[in-house]
Amino acid sequence: MTSFPNYFDCIQLLLDHSTPLSVISHLILTTQTALDVTKTLKKKGKSINCDLILAGALLHDIGRSKSHRLNHGIIGAQILQEEGFPEELSQIAEHHLFSGITKYEARDLGLPFQNYLPRTLEEKIITYADNISKRKPLLSIDEVIQRYSKYIDKSHPILKRVRVLHTEVETLLNDE
């Protein structure tokens, strides 16, 4: 397959992989947030692949159908590759954790030794949306940091990267 799946195909794929309904609910909220960000950035002249944003936001957690651990990103990327979707889509699943993980952090966290850092604007938008879309109203950056501090030390570089990515996207949104 060379194109990205539409909304209904994404939902069907999530159901076919027995993704928990609570995860699907989160994915729908993340997608709404990511599309809102995309709409604003497109109005500001940013070049963004809207089809990738839609599919990436809906499918970034498909690996949670098999695991709720950090490896769900890797599992999700494998599922999307096996389904024949473009690499850009599987990279979103693989790179969305926190706001990215370096290969050294990955090793320390028990993941394969490689970088899991969002690189493209689409990856960054979805990662940002994922971080704040745990409930309505959306989480503030301080709430995101507090939530992640349950899993990693407050001084960990990952949490600094969460703030940096949040600031990067917020700056893009607020630039005139």
Residue whose C-alpha is closest to residue 5's, from 31, 23, 25, 29: 31
Res. 14: pLDDT tops 90: yes
pLDDT band at 2 (very low <50, low <70, confident <90, very high): low
Is 147 within a domain?
yes
**Nearest-angstrom CA–CA distance, 120 and 68:** 25
User: Would 1 be classed as within a structural domain?
Assistant: no
User: pLDDT tens digits, residue range 125-148?
Assistant: 999 999 999 988 999 999 999 999
**What mean pLDDT value characterizes the chain?**
96
| Tally of domains within the chain | 1
Report yes or no on 129 lying in a domain.
Answer: yes
> What CATH number corresponds to the domain at position 64?
1.10.3210
Residue 2 within a domain: no
For residue 176, give every residue at least 6 positions away whose Cβ sits within 8 Å of its Cβ, in sequence order, or none.
none
Distant-in-sequence, close-in-space partners of 22: CB < 8 Å, separation ≥ 6: none
Mean pLDDT of 70-95: 97
In a domain, 77, yes or no: yes
CA–CA gap between residue 73 and residue 66 (Å, rounded): 10
Tokens 């990067």 appear where?
168
Task: Look up the domain containing 72 and give its range.
Answer: 7-174
Q: Is the pLDDT of residue 49 over 90?
A: yes
